[in-house]
Amino acid sequence: MSDNAVAGATNVEQSAEHEEEVLAELTAPVPEVGDGGPEMVQLLTPEGQRVENTEYDEYVKDLTDEDLRGFYRDLVLIRRVDAEATALQRQGELGIWASLLGQEAAQVGSGRAMRPQDYAFPTYREHGVAWCRGVNPLNLLGLFRGVNHGGWDPNEKNFHLYTIVIGAQTLHATGYAMGIQRDGDVGTGDADRDAAVIAYFGDGASAQGDVNEAFVYAAVNNAPVVFFCQNNQWAISEPNERQTRIPLYQRARGFGFPGVRVDGNDVLAVYAVAKQALDAARTGQGPTFVEAYTYRMGAHTTSDDPTKYRVSAEVEVWKHRDPIERLKAYLVHEKKADHDFFDAIDAEADQLAAEVREGCLSMPDPTPDSMFDHIYVEEHPVVEAERKEFAAYHAGFSEEGGH
């Protein structure tokens, strides 16, 4: 047998062995990962104990005590805004509200890992990211009260308007990231210029066609985008086991880019993982899939009743993994914050809640014909004709003998 034939046979044999290994890995039983599994990145245990991690410690080593206290402040204040909004909806002041309860660390950690020039594409639950990007909470409430379509300038905050259509924002984010790439704002080495995009979505959205199409486009174009999946265990009433055979972060491998699972209730770990992924995107290394393993402590929205499909014992388990109590325990143990600090944050949260309530109740109702505003950039004859027709119809109700 010739040398070429021998080499060819060896290559075929090695290829077959590799295929068998891959097949065995992909068809192996799904491990029990109720606690996130051994592959999950964690820097703070649920008890607030610091865990060393040689890969990610470098991303948090420069955080000051003030930075850490800032994380705590973010977590407490946005949870209080969320609680106030839920109460306002229950009292008939908001049409609906999507709570972030339990997911604060996933949002604050990733939000604070962004640079000013980075751009975020949210779903309808990223109130914590909005807070980090400087969006007034009243803008969020205005959307759910029905008095505006968001109320903030996305290009000022680099935070896109909320997206209600499940998963659609991942395509928007990928397209925007490809635009950044083509503008030459990736991999220049200029920290104030190089930019990345982060797209938020949930575990349920990971099964949507739009999301998987975004993965394909991002991968083949090496787009500077981070796909940040908040796996809160429930796609409304559907649990993880009805959505996937493998941990979600492993799906990235099939599209050709890295994936990582992080403890979504650990703000330090989320910050480190998101920072690494965003750094990689900015330097031209392409997309990353981040699965923040967390839990939706409340209802999907205020129109949902989770007691119909999940047991209270599951919720109790996750209460012991609370992101705020975890960070508080760490700050206390390391003597980085005292009782006066925590009391001051609680007082600030009370004040913020009062301002949110007062601001919400005082929002003016929009005029009926404002629904025709901002449909197109320029005036459109069809829209203007519809506006006039509606105005005439509406005026008929105030005229004598009108209906």
Could you write out the DSSP letters of every residue in 229-256? EEE-SEETTEEGGGT-SS-GGGHHHHHT
Least confident piece of the model among 53-67, 132-146, 155-169, 370-384: 370-384
The mean pLDDT of 356-375, rounded to a whole number, is 93
Q: Is the pLDDT at 29 greater than 50, yes or no?
A: no
pTM: 0.88
pLDDT tens, residue by residue, 165-220: 999 999 999 999 999 999 999 999 999 999 999 999 999 999 999 999 999 999 99
Q: Is the pLDDT at 151 greater than 90, yes or no?
A: no
362 confidence band (pLDDT: 50, 70, 90): very high
pLDDT at residue 149, as a whole number:
85
pLDDT at residue 400, as a whole number:
54
List, in order, residues 6 or more apart from 270 with CB less than 8 Å away: 105, 106, 108, 109, 110, 113, 262, 263, 264, 292
Which three-class secondary structure state does DSSP give residue 4? helix
Residues recognised as catalytic? 296, 300, 309
pLDDT tens, residue by residue, 133-144: 999 999 999 999
CA distance 295 to 314: 10
- Give me 289's structure tokens: 């899939």
pLDDT at residue 161, as a whole number:
97
pLDDT at residue 11, as a whole number:
61
pLDDT at residue 23, as a whole number:
58
pLDDT at residue 5, as a whole number:
59
Q: Is the pLDDT at 6 greater than 70, yes or no?
A: no
pLDDT tens, residue by residue, 217-276: 999 999 999 999 999 999 999 988 888 889 999 999 999 999 999 999 999 999 999 999
List, in order, residues 6 or more apart from 183 with CB less than 8 Å away: none
List, in order, residues 6 or more apart from 146 with CB less than 8 Å away: 95, 366
pLDDT at residue 31, as a whole number:
42
Burial of 16 (0-12, 13-18, 19+ CB in 10 A): exposed
Least confident piece of the model among 226-235, 305-314, 345-354: 305-314
Which three-class secondary structure state does DSSP give residue 81? helix
Looking up tokens 């493998």 gives 246
Least confident piece of the model among 1-5, 178-182, 231-235, 350-354: 1-5
Of 346, 347, 354, 313, the C-alpha closest to 328 is: 346
Q: Is the pLDDT at 402 greater than 60, yes or no?
A: no
CA distance 171 to 348: 38
CA distance 48 to 43: 9
pLDDT at residue 38, as a whole number:
86
30 confidence band (pLDDT: 50, 70, 90): very low
Return mean pLDDT, the chain. Answer: 92
Least confident piece of the model among 29-38, 158-167, 322-331, 340-349: 29-38
Partners of 262 in the beta sheet?
41, 292
**More confidently predicted of 159 and 8:** 159
CA distance 215 to 208: 11
Of 174, 163, 166, 95, the C-alpha closest to 126 is: 163
CB atoms within 10 A of CB 299: 18
32 confidence band (pLDDT: 50, 70, 90): very low
19 confidence band (pLDDT: 50, 70, 90): low
CA distance 73 to 314: 27
